[in-house]
């Protein structure tokens, strides 16, 4: 109550009667109640403000975590994640410069000649002699030569279409019977058609050089003069697929019996629909197929359900179900994830220690495969193994399991390194045969992504399957030293390439 109110009450008490005193008491009670109400309202406002502050603090914490996660994702590239190099649009991985050699760029002083070497036995020799003497003007000929300067020119003949007419004759014997000679089997049934050379060239351009159908037809017309249509070019893929079927069946069987197998997958598009592309391959064979990204989709390739060797992959969960074979996880993917962890936690050292251990073991394994050493030294193997496991232990102490199902990327990586250590380090147990990375599988898929960039998506599942089957045949033949054009040419001329049963280097 204020000073004026106190004076008024005092004056009222001095001159008031009993009734007036009751009125004053009532007034005082109402003033006290109003003061208590104001205090309660102020306390409620303070409580609401405190609750709002707590909500804002929680929201700020959530937003800060979200921003940190988005920044982490934005900083991912092909050097610190599973993203392919084609996704490095805005943030390319920083390449650390190697030690300077002290040499200038370009050809070094004293280096040998790097030009085109001359052939010892040229196909054609052309002599150029002076017609007359530059002094007296007398005629000169071959009998007057005393030496020469030579130069060689490599070139190709101009390609033009030649039309060959095949006539299958009928002959009448003296006995009166007429015998007809059938047409050769490689000749089409139409009265006029294109031969195997031109068909092989078109399929080679489509499948191996990734040239679109319309541009393939135009290229053939410009270079050879053959007026082929886009429809004829497109119809060659199913024909080529049928021709290479026997080779593909043998490739599938040989992959199943191999000691080491690479498996990988990526996305492709047919029309406006996304599809999954799978590959099973070795250093000598390749088999591609379209299927969903599931156990049934991988089984559709016909290789993994019966495989009993070492399967190299990048830890996709569906591969873990194939327990009849042993596993090797791709070390390159793990190195990139450890690089990402170093960028997220630069003050910690566990990621550097694990990466040091893996990289050191890989260097020793490469030396074994290059026949520089016979095995990884036991002392070096023990040192790197201990560093690997100690790094995991330290990392888990810094990134323990959080309440709930969702865990941090660092914890998930460390737990995977701990629980699947044997599958990660298997390459060190058998360095001569088991590779450290899944690069073989990734290289087999990369041309298919190149095809999408150049020609766009496939227009039908049947067309995409035919292209992948022919690509599998060509890639397998190429791994055996046969050129892609020669391989497809052999298919069109009835001399199909078949992979050798013994797949050794």
Residue 458: closest CA among 201, 230, 212, 208: 212
Q: How far apart are CA 232 and CA 237, in angstroms?
A: 10
Q: What is the model's pLDDT at position 171?
A: 93
Q: How far apart are the first and last CA of the chain?
A: 103
3 state DSSP class of 269: strand
Q: What is the model's pLDDT at position 184?
A: 83
Q: What is the model's pLDDT at position 26?
A: 78
* Pair 279, 286: CB distance under 8 Å: yes
* Pair 310, 434: CB distance under 8 Å: yes
Residue 467: closest CA among 146, 145, 237, 276: 237
3 state DSSP class of 486: helix
Q: What is the model's pLDDT at position 202?
A: 95
| Beta strands, E only, 98-252 | 170-172, 178-180
Query: Tokens representing 436?
Result: 């450290």
Element (H, E) at 104: none
Backbone angles phi, psi at 311, to 5 degrees: -100, 120
Q: How far apart are CA 5 and CA 260, in angstroms?
A: 98
Q: How far apart are CA 414 and CA 404, in angstroms?
A: 17
DSSP letter assigned to residue 455? H
pTM, rounded to two decimals: 0.77
Who contacts 227 (Cβ-Cβ below 8 Å, separation ≥6)?
A: 221
Residue at token pair 């069109």: 492
Query: Tokens representing 378?
Result: 């036991």
Query: Tokens representing 487?
Result: 């391989």
Q: What is the model's pLDDT at position 97?
A: 63
Q: How far apart are CA 7 and CA 424, in angstroms?
A: 90
DSSP letter assigned to residue 208? I
Residue at token pair 């498996």: 263
How many angstroms separate the Cα of 347 from the Cα of each of 100, 266, 391? 28, 35, 14
* Pair 81, 337: CB distance under 8 Å: yes
Residue 468: closest CA among 296, 286, 305, 256: 286
Q: What is the model's pLDDT at position 95?
A: 61
Q: What is the model's pLDDT at position 16?
A: 53
- pLDDT means over runs of 10, the chain (505 residues): 53 60 79 85 87 88 81 67 58 61 71 76 90 88 87 85 89 91 80 88 94 93 91 93 96 95 92 90 95 92 94 91 94 92 91 95 94 92 95 95 89 94 94 94 89 79 93 96 95 93 69
Q: What is the model's pLDDT at position 15?
A: 56
């Amino acid at each position: 109550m204020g000073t004026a109110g106190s004076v008024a009450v005092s004056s009222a008490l001095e001159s008031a009667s009993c009734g007036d005193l009751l009125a004053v008491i009532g007034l005082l009670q109402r003033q006290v109640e109003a003061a208590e109400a104001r205090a309660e309202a102020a306390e409620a406002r303070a409580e609401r403000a405190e609750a709002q502050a707590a909500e804002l603090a929680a929201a700020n914490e959530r937003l800060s975590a979200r921003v940190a996660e988005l920044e982490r994702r934005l900083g991912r590239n092909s050097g610190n994640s599973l993203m392919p190099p084609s996704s490095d649009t805005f943030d390319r991985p920083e390449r650390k410069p190697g030690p300077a050699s002290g040499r200038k760029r370009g050809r070094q002083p004293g280096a040998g000649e790097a030009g085109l070497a001359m052939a010892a036995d040229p196909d054609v020799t052309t002599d150029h002699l002076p017609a007359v003497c530059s002094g007296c003007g007398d005629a000169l000929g071959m009998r007057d030569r005393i030496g020469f300067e030579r130069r060689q020119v490599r070139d190709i003949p101009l390609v033009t279409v030649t039309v060959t007419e095949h006539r299958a004759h009928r002959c009448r014997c003296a006995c009166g019977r007429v015998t007809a000679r059938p047409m050769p089997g490689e000749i089409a049934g139409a009265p006029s058609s294109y031969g195997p050379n031109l068909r092989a060239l078109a399929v080679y351009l489509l499948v191996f050089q990734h040239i679109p159908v319309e541009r393939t037809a135009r290229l053939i017309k410009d270079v050879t003069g053959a007026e082929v249509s886009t429809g004829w070019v497109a119809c060659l893929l199913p024909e080529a697929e049928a021709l290479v079927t026997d080779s593909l069946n043998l490739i599938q069987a040989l992959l199943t019996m191999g000691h080491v197998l690479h498996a990988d997958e990526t996305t492709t598009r047919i029309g406006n629909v996304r599809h999954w592309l799978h590959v099973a391959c070795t250093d000598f064979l390749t088999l591609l197929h379209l299927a969903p990204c599931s156990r049934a989709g991988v089984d559709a390739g016909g290789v993994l359900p019966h495989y009993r060797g070492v399967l190299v992959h990048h830890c996709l969960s569906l591969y873990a179900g194939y327990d009849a074979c042993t596993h090797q996880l791709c070390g390159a993917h793990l190195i990139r994830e450890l690089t990402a962890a170093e960028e997220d936690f630069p003050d910690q050292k566990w990621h550097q220690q694990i990466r040091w251990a893996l990289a050191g073991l890989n260097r020793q394994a490469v030396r074994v495969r290059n026949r520089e050493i016979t095995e990884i030294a036991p002392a070096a193997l023990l040192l790197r193994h201990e560093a690997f496991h100690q790094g995991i232990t330290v990392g888990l102490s810094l990134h323990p399991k959080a309440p709930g199902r969702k865990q941090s990327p660092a914890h998930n990586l460390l737990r995977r390194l701990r629980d699947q250590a044997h599958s990660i380090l298997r390459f060190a147990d058998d360095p001569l045969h088991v590779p450290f990375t899944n690069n073989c599988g990734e290289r087999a898929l990369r041309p298919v992504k190149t095809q999408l960039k150049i020609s766009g998506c496939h227009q039908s599942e049947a067309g995409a399957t035919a292209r992948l089957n022919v690509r599998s045949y060509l890639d397998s033949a190429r791994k055996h030293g046969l050129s892609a054009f020669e391989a497809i040419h052999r298919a069109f001329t009835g001399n199909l390439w078949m992979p050798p049963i013994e797949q050794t280097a």
